[in-house]
């Protein structure tokens, strides 16, 4: 959909919020949140009308102790109801096997992350971009019978380790992801360095290079531009937006990276733009209060 179509259809445009707070948010919290609290939080997301939730990650429990209870959280959610799609992050074949062992029919998607920046990929995943890309085929093959695999290109709009990220570096990762069998691409502004003009331009560029590709955006608010960038992405036709309740979550490997775009702010803006997210803002507020009580800290 181009931006003129978007303007014509704006009152009827459906949009999807993918809540990543339980994974991307909590993984940066030092205090381990009890499994039953995580389940209660995610159930509140569902009650608020959120239908796409990245619940947890099957990364090594040693690397991410906060999410060591991935299987228990997913199974503890029981039947989340019709239309809810749960997802989990994986980093390798072992993670996929753990996901396959999990009895949760609404777990229908796995997510993988590869950075457009060589240095960030090494810091975040301890391997080169090339090595990460080589591992995708096995992940997709193992997941194929049960899961859709989506891929995030992190640092797509800038990396503090590397001066600039060229569109070609983003395209290279997307190309390998699609070749491996990944069906949806998320452009991640991991360090919050993107600017609205750049966001629109990169989306157009990706569309040109990969016609028909399904796109999502994962934005951070590090420099206070999260919402402006989200608006630019929506105007360029992206309707799947990732965010976290209360703006929780930074990136442990990027000094000073503040959190993801806050779900409440994003939903409010999308509704003002005439986009129907299906999310109830009052109930979302309850999620935020609950999260605050769990973490015992102020969230925005
Ligand atoms: Mg994030």
pLDDT of 191-229, one tens digit each? Answer: 899 999 999 999 999 999 999 999 999 999 988 899 999
The rounded Å distance from CA 283 to ligand 1 centre is 23
Longest Cα separation, the chain: 50
Q: Tokens standing for 191?
A: 């360090």
The number of distinct structural domains making up the chain is: 1
Q: Which residues contact 27 (CB under 8 A, 6 or more apart)?
A: 57, 64, 66, 67, 249, 252
Q: How far apart are the first and last CA of the chain?
A: 32
The rounded Å distance from CA 221 to ligand 1 centre is 10
The rounded Å distance from CA 281 to ligand 1 centre is 21
Average pLDDT over residues 170-176: 98
In a domain, 41, yes or no: yes
CA torsion sign, 184 to 185 to 191 to 194?
A: negative
pLDDT at 296: 75
pLDDT above 70 for 298 = no
pLDDT at 253: 58
Which 3 state secondary structure label does DSSP give 257? coil
Catalytic residue among 140, 159, 251, 287: 251
Query: What is the Cα–Cα distance from 45 to 241, expressed in whole angstroms?
Result: 15
- The CATH number of whichever domain residue 190 belongs to comes to 3.20.20.70
pLDDT at 29: 86
Give 154's strand partners. 115
Give residue 297's pLDDT band: very low, low, confident or very high (50, 70, 90).
Answer: low
In a domain, 300, yes or no: no
Query: What is the Cα–Cα distance from 136 to 114, expressed in whole angstroms?
Result: 9
| Among the listed residues 70, 75, 43, the one whose alpha carbon sits nearest the alpha carbon of residue 59 | 70
The rounded Å distance from CA 8 to ligand 1 centre is 32
Query: What is the Cα–Cα distance from 129 to 165, expressed in whole angstroms?
Result: 13
140 among known catalytic residues? no
The lowest-confidence range among 41-55, 74-88, 284-298 is 284-298
Domain that holds residue 52: 3-295
Average pLDDT over residues 104-119: 97
pLDDT at 256: 57
pTM here is: 0.92
The rounded Å distance from CA 242 to ligand 1 centre is 8
Average pLDDT over residues 102-118: 97
Query: What is the Cα–Cα distance from 118 to 120, expressed in whole angstroms?
Result: 6
Q: Tokens standing for 181?
A: 């069998």
In a domain, 98, yes or no: yes
Q: What is the H or E stretch that residue 150 is in? A: strand 148-154
Q: What is the H or E stretch that residue 44 is in? A: helix 35-47
Average pLDDT over residues 118-141: 95
In a domain, 79, yes or no: yes
Query: What is the Cα–Cα distance from 248 to 291, expressed in whole angstroms?
Result: 10
pLDDT at 12: 61
pLDDT of 22-55, one tens digit each? Answer: 999 999 888 899 999 999 999 999 999 999 999 9
pLDDT of 225-268, one tens digit each? Answer: 999 999 999 999 999 999 999 888 865 555 655 689 999 999 99
Asked if 38 contacts 69 with a C-beta cutoff of 8 angstroms, the reply is yes
Share of the chain above pLDDT 70, in %: 92
- List CB-based neighbours of ion ligand 1 within 5 Å: 24, 260
Asked if 20 contacts 241 with a C-beta cutoff of 8 angstroms, the reply is no
């Amino acid at each position: 959909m181009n931006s003129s179509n978007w303007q014509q259809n704006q009152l009827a445009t459906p949009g999807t919020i993918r809540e990543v707070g339980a994974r991307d948010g909590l993984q940066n919290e030092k205090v381990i949140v009890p499994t039953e609290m995580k389940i209660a939080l995610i159930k509140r997301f569902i009650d608020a009308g959120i239908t796409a939730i990245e619940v947890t990650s099957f990364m090594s429990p040693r690397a991410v102790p906060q999410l060591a209870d991935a299987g228990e959280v997913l199974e503890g959610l029981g039947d989340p109801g019709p239309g809810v799609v749960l997802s989990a992050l994986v980093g390798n074949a072992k993670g996929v096997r753990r996901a396959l062992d999990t009895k949760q029919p609404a777990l229908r998607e796995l997510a993988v992350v590869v950075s457009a920046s060589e240095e960030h990929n090494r810091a975040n995943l301890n391997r080169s971009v090339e090595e990460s890309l080589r591992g995708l085929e096995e992940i997709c093959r193992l997941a194929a019978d049960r899961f859709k695999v989506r891929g995030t290109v992190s640092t797509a709009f800038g990396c503090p380790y590397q001066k600039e990220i060229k569109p070609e570096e983003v395209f290279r990762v997307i190309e390998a992801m699609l070749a491996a069998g990944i069906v949806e691409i998320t452009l991640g502004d991991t360090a919050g360095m993107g600017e609205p003009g750049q966001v629109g331009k990169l989306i157009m560029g990706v569309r040109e290079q990969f016609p028909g590709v399904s796109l999502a955006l994962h934005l951070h608010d590090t420099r206070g531009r999260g919402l402006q960038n989200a608006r630019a992405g929506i105007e360029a036709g992206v309707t799947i937006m990732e965010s976290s309740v209360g703006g929780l979550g930074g990136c442990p490997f990027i000094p000073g990276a503040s959190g993801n775009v806050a779900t409440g702010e994003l939903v409010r803006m999308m509704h003002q733009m005439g986009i129907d997210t299906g999310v109830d803002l009052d109930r979302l507020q309850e999620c935020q209060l609950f999260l605050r009580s769990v973490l015992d800290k102020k969230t925005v």
